[in-house]
Structure 1
Amino acid sequence: MKQIIFILILIITTTTSGQSIFEASRSGDLEKVKAIYTLNNNAINTTDSKGFTPLILAVYNNNPKIVAFLLEKESNVNAKDLSGNTALMGVCFKGYTDIAKTLIKNGANVNLQNYNGATALIYASTFGHLEIVKYLLDNNADKNLKDNRGNTALKHAEMQGNTEIAMLLK
């Protein structure tokens, strides 16, 4: 029995060698993520040298299947990187509406602030992602939260000329 387990571990390790869970999450290799998870289910909540979790990397690189798998396996949806950014903040920067909805449906806190005080709503407003702004507001995003410079999401939208978002935030 020990030999069978050893062989299985060897096979799985060989199929995942050369690629970490971070690389697999970034590149969209769901089978590698699953194989690594099978070997070590704690891998889904580990962080790399920048504090990125596999979920943050999957979100930022628009890999919805990996996002779904990681959330199903209870990846920490509110984990922060070394700058205090969450997966939701990353998706609000990038503009992937469907992933933003998935994160929120799986418990992402819409009002967390990074170490500069920015929120997901501030990112979505700054980068002009109207549908995400609407969804955040529908899910209790606090439009009055200010970043470390005293700016709200409205102020960021106005500074970037995102008039439709600014109107929504007034």
Structure 2
Amino acid sequence: MTQLNQVLTVAARQGNTEVLQEAIKQGADVNSKDEKGYTPLIIACYNHQPEAAKLLLDNGADVNAADFGGNTALMGAAFKGYADIAKLLLEHGADIDRQHGNGGSALMFATMFGRNELVKLLLDRGADKTILDSRGLSVLDLAVQQGNEEAISLLAH
């Protein structure tokens, strides 16, 4: 990773849009990956930096880029419970049903970690609740496993 791309990654984590804009202007690659495969967009989203995420998306960041485990920015937002970030990513064409290396989806992450606002949002946006992970478990199976009564109720409709 070049020094300029490292600057971009640090600025994305911190939400420093001025540094982001300057790095992009100087030719930083908005789709560069660090040693774990994280793009600046994944890092901005995971660290709840919506302005940085929007700036990256507006400058060509791949909304569906995945880290080396297959995790996308939308999965990170679902895991963390950031509805505003999830909405932004979906508005920019995020693949709502993308599955990571173990078959998990954003809806599964939201369900497993009790992010029920995200469960509702993803279902409202058409997330597929019939997807199975690599163990053959559905999102409803995961909700039951976690004792997530609200998600069970949302998924039953």
- TM-score where L is the length of structure 2: 0.93
Q: 2:141 aligns with which of 142, 150, 155?
A: 155
- Unmatched segments (≥5 aa) in structure 1: 1-15
Q: Distance in 1 between matches of 2:144 and 2:56?
A: 36
Partners of 1:135 and 1:27 lie apart in 2 by 26
1:143 to 129, 142, 150: 129
Give the fraction of aligned pairs with identical amino acids, expressed as a percent. Answer: 45
Cα shift readout 1:30-69 (whole Å, capped 9, x = no counterpart): 111111000115x111111110000000000000110111
Matched, 1:165 2:151: yes
Q: Which runs of 5+ in 2 are unaligned?
A: none
Aligned counterpart, 2:8: 21
Alignment RMSD (CA, Å) = 1.6
How many residue pairs align between the two structures?
154
Determine the structure 2 residue equivalent to 1:35.
Answer: 22
**Secondary structure at the counterpart of residue 76 of structure 2:** helix
2:118 is aligned to: 132
Structure 1 or 2: more helix by fraction: 1
Amino acid paired to 1:24? A
* Counterpart among 38, 42, 53 of residue 52 in structure 1: 38
Q: Amino acid of the residue matched to residue 135 of structure 1?
A: L
CA drift at 1:90: 0.3
Q: Which whole-Å deviations, capped at 9, do the CAs of 1:114-157 have from their partners, x for residues lacking one?
A: 01000000000111111111111111110010111111111111
Moved more, 88-97 or 128-137: 128-137
